[in-house]
Structure 1
Amino acid sequence: MPPPPLPPSAPAPSSAPRAALPRLAPLLGHPVSVGLLAVVLAGTAGLGLVLGAGTTPATAWNALAEGMFGSPYAIGSSLNSAAVLALIATGFTAAHRAGLVNVGGEGQLCAGGLAAAAVGLALPAGVPAVLGVPLVLVAGFAAGAAWAGIAARLRTRRGTSEVITTLLLNFIGVGLVSVAVHEEALLRQPVTSSETLPQSAPLPEGARLPLIGGIESPATAIVVIAALAAVITGVVLRRTAVGLRLRSVGHSPAASARLGLPVARLETGGLAFAGGAAGVAGAGLVAMAPSVLAEHFSSGYGFSGLVVGLLARGSLTAVAAVSLLFGFLTNGGINLQLAAGVPASSVQIVQSLLVLFVAAAMFATTRNRSTS
């Protein structure tokens, strides 16, 4: 008698969902996906701040858009802000390629602005722009590079963390600017009355950055300089032996030294370039309207540029994109307060949340990859 047939086995659970997860993981962890998710979450938080201020979302959006794109003046101001951020972030990216974290952009920017003001005011009144503008910018680069060089020397000679030294040098740089614009023996303009502001005299015409957008737009040559700096730096880091050596030092200084690479020189050069780029940004701030060195002229650009560099994650293309985003948001936030009654600090809160969300997503993605 033949054995009874076996009962049909239950169908095995489909492995399609499990198989789909690994395929979706790279997409979910892609920088573009992470950035879009962070923008959505930060935008939702910004909407809550707008509603809390008693303003309708439509009114707030119109005010923000007007401040960013509503006029040639708004666009030019936003481009200038984005260019300053891009210069600082470009320098940060170059130093980070060598394994260094430059958090001293604010102090280096102040050093560059201070040197640019000193050189610009020492020039004769009739100096041609073809001579005056390069001198001001070179002075800013040299001062910023020298300021970062202090931290570089302490790292290569004494092993001191550049994070600590560049951070502390920020406060000294800001303090030096404050002293310079308050002392008539230094850079303060002659005091003619009690209403004379503690700032330097205006730079001569030949030391001021030329406009690139016409009379209606305040966009200056700093936009072109920042774009060229990002492109050239990207080419050097990706296509030249210097970029390869910086990457090697960033991966392993000890192994690079065993291969015969001048580790100390490469680290010093990377950090000095970061300081020089921030110094050019400071010189640009002084050389654009109103062309004076004033207390708090930096407006926190050094720290914002650091954030741009961190968000860009080593990509010069991302540096340009994030700089434009932050530059336009900053300018739009000013009009948001004036036209809609929403505090301009709301934009700073949204930017901070954007950074936190991106950082959290990066941490989660890295952790999932390490445990998989």
Structure 2
Amino acid sequence: MSRPVELPRWADIGLLPLINLAMALAVSAIVVAVIGLDPVQVITQLVKGAFGTRSGLGYTLYYATTFTFTGLAVAVAFHGGLFNIGGEGQAMVGGLGVAAVSLAFGNSLPAVLMLPLAVVAAMAFGAAWAAVPAALQAWRGSHVVITTIMFNFIASALLAWLLVNHLKAPGGMTVETVAFADSAHLPGMHELLAGLGIEWPRTPLNASLLLALAAAVGVWALLWRLRAGYELRAVGHSPEAAHYAGIHPRRQVMLAMLISGALAGMVGVNELSGVQHKLLLDFVAGAGFTGIAVSLIGRNHPLGIVLAALLFGALYQGGAELAFEVPGFSRDMVTTLQGLIVLFSGAMARVAAPALSRVVMALQPRAAVAAGAAHG
């Protein structure tokens, strides 16, 4: 059995994902060329569609906001030694929390109280949905991968049952609730920037972007600056050693999953409070599963996750533009590109590590010699 290749942290977190991404793009270019399209034109149009206009950038950041929440959710659980695949269901139930408080209190509370209440409800409902698989893992040994997958289906069925039988707007054919009151509408980014004298087109991008960035900073501080995060990571590395050191693994399992579920639940704030302003049947649309890829590409680090979320946001928005602008290109090709990125960043994430390790080791002596000459 070959030993795992050790890389400096800067190379493992910063450089290796870029190499994996470059390999995925290279293979994608070959696939695009095989079907008779110009790879340069496709990549150029994708980048232009995602970042070339303010409107395109707004949509890219809107998608990236959702993927940041779900990517952080996967990463927190991963550092606790858990693989939470239940972000999809936790996001659905978080949206139920947003809808519950928005419909119940939207007409009686001002926005200054209503919006924080919606955020708290999203986090609480998402955390509560993650608590059951966490408890089953901690006290009964039920594997969290299996239970969280099962809970995705349960959440989907629960959301459909509640919408069809109890929450559906009376007299309408569409399976959705009545619109939230104005106090439950999260400000759009165009409104916030207008207050600063900056003109910005109306897009789905809203104040949830700021919440996502705050969540990324909070996760970084928790995991690498607080004792609670150290204990969580210690359990993730070795539950037996952590227990010997006086850390309770069961508590850390619960903590990791509760935080993970709360972060996934925040998808409901972006999608419902920020954009739809009502509860829909399929508002998550696979974002929980995309968060797994985002976390893998970001190496489970908040900064990497934000950048990976931006990448997937660009793929979603740029892919939509490609489908309109490039004849013969379909959304299925964007899905293929996403799959290749996941392949190279997940299952084949360490393929380039040996070669990268040799390059780093070859350059380190030169760097040491140069540093010594400078000091001399």
TM-score range, shorter chain: 0.7 to 0.9
| 2:17 alignment partner, one of 28, 32, 35 | 35
Q: Counterpart of 1:143?
A: 125
Contact kept in structure 1, 2:98 and 2:121, CA below 8 Å: yes
Measure the CA separation in 1 of the matches of 2:309 and 2:278: 24
Measure the CA separation in 1 of the matches of 2:68 and 2:121: 19
Q: RMSD of the TM alignment (CA)?
A: 2.6
C-alpha deviation, 1:59, in angstroms: 4.5
Unaligned 5+ segments in structure 2 are 1-5, 192-199, 358-376
C-alpha deviation, 1:27, in angstroms: 11
Change in 2 beyond 3 A, CA 1:54/1:123: farther
C-alpha deviation, 1:32, in angstroms: 3.9
Q: Counterpart of 1:20?
A: none
Q: Counterpart of 2:365?
A: none
Change in 2 beyond 3 A, CA 1:31/1:252: closer
| 2:175 alignment partner, one of 178, 195, 198 | 198
Q: Counterpart of 1:355?
A: 342
1:70-149 superposed matches below 5 A: 70-125=52-107, 127-149=109-131
Q: Which shifted more, 251-260 or 329-338?
A: 251-260
C-alpha deviation, 1:31, in angstroms: 4.3
| 1:209 alignment partner, one of 182, 186, 191 | 186
Q: Counterpart of 2:360?
A: none
Contact kept in structure 2, 1:42 and 1:353, CA below 8 Å: yes
Change in 2 beyond 3 A, CA 1:27/1:285: closer
Amino acid at match of 2:321: N
Q: Counterpart of 1:19?
A: none
Contact kept in structure 1, 2:20 and 2:352, CA below 8 Å: no
| 2:168 alignment partner, one of 185, 188, 204 | 188
SS in 2 for 1:288: helix
Amino acid at match of 1:189: A
C-alpha deviation, 1:86, in angstroms: 0.8
Contact kept in structure 1, 2:55 and 2:201, CA below 8 Å: yes
Change in 2 beyond 3 A, CA 1:25/1:210: closer
1:11-22 superposed matches below 5 A: none
Measure the CA separation in 2 of the matches of 1:352 and 1:278: 22
C-alpha deviation, 1:234, in angstroms: 0.2
C-alpha deviation, 1:29, in angstroms: 6.8
Corresponding position: 1:276 with 2:268 = no
Q: Which shifted more, 254-263 or 312-321?
A: 254-263
SS in 2 for 1:314: coil
Corresponding position: 1:321 with 2:307 = yes
Contact kept in structure 2, 1:63 and 1:336, CA below 8 Å: yes
Contact kept in structure 1, 2:17 and 2:298, CA below 8 Å: no
Measure the CA separation in 2 of the matches of 1:88 and 1:313: 14
Measure the CA separation in 2 of the matches of 1:27 and 1:134: 37
- Give CA-to-partner distance per residue, 1:248-289, whole Å, 9 cap, x none: 111221222222222211210111100010001123211122
- Give CA-to-partner distance per residue, 1:290-331, whole Å, 9 cap, x none: 222212211100000111112222311111111111111111
Change in 2 beyond 3 A, CA 1:312/1:27: closer
Q: Which shifted more, 208-217 or 49-58?
A: 49-58
Corresponding position: 1:305 with 2:285 = no
Contact kept in structure 1, 2:163 and 2:177, CA below 8 Å: yes
Contact kept in structure 1, 2:92 and 2:155, CA below 8 Å: yes
Change in 2 beyond 3 A, CA 1:92/1:124: closer
Amino acid at match of 1:355: V
C-alpha deviation, 1:55, in angstroms: 4.1
Measure the CA separation in 2 of the matches of 1:366 and 1:63: 31
Q: Which shifted more, 100-109 or 71-80?
A: 71-80
Q: Counterpart of 2:224?
A: 238
Q: Counterpart of 2:194?
A: none
Amino acid at match of 1:171: F
Change in 2 beyond 3 A, CA 1:296/1:126: same
Q: Which shifted more, 240-249 or 309-318?
A: 309-318
SS in 1 for 2:206: coil
Measure the CA separation in 1 of the matches of 2:234 and 2:47: 44
C-alpha deviation, 1:153, in angstroms: 0.7
Measure the CA separation in 2 of the matches of 1:29 and 1:316: 16
SS in 1 for 2:99: helix
- Give CA-to-partner distance per residue, 1:127-186, whole Å, 9 cap, x none: 322111111111110110000001011011101111111111111112222222222xx1
Contact kept in structure 1, 2:16 and 2:352, CA below 8 Å: no
Unaligned 5+ segments in structure 1 are 1-23
Measure the CA separation in 2 of the matches of 1:366 and 1:101: 23
C-alpha deviation, 1:362, in angstroms: 3.2
Measure the CA separation in 2 of the matches of 1:147 and 1:310: 23
Measure the CA separation in 2 of the matches of 1:120 and 1:364: 48
Question: Paired residues, what number?
Answer: 342
Change in 2 beyond 3 A, CA 1:57/1:310: closer
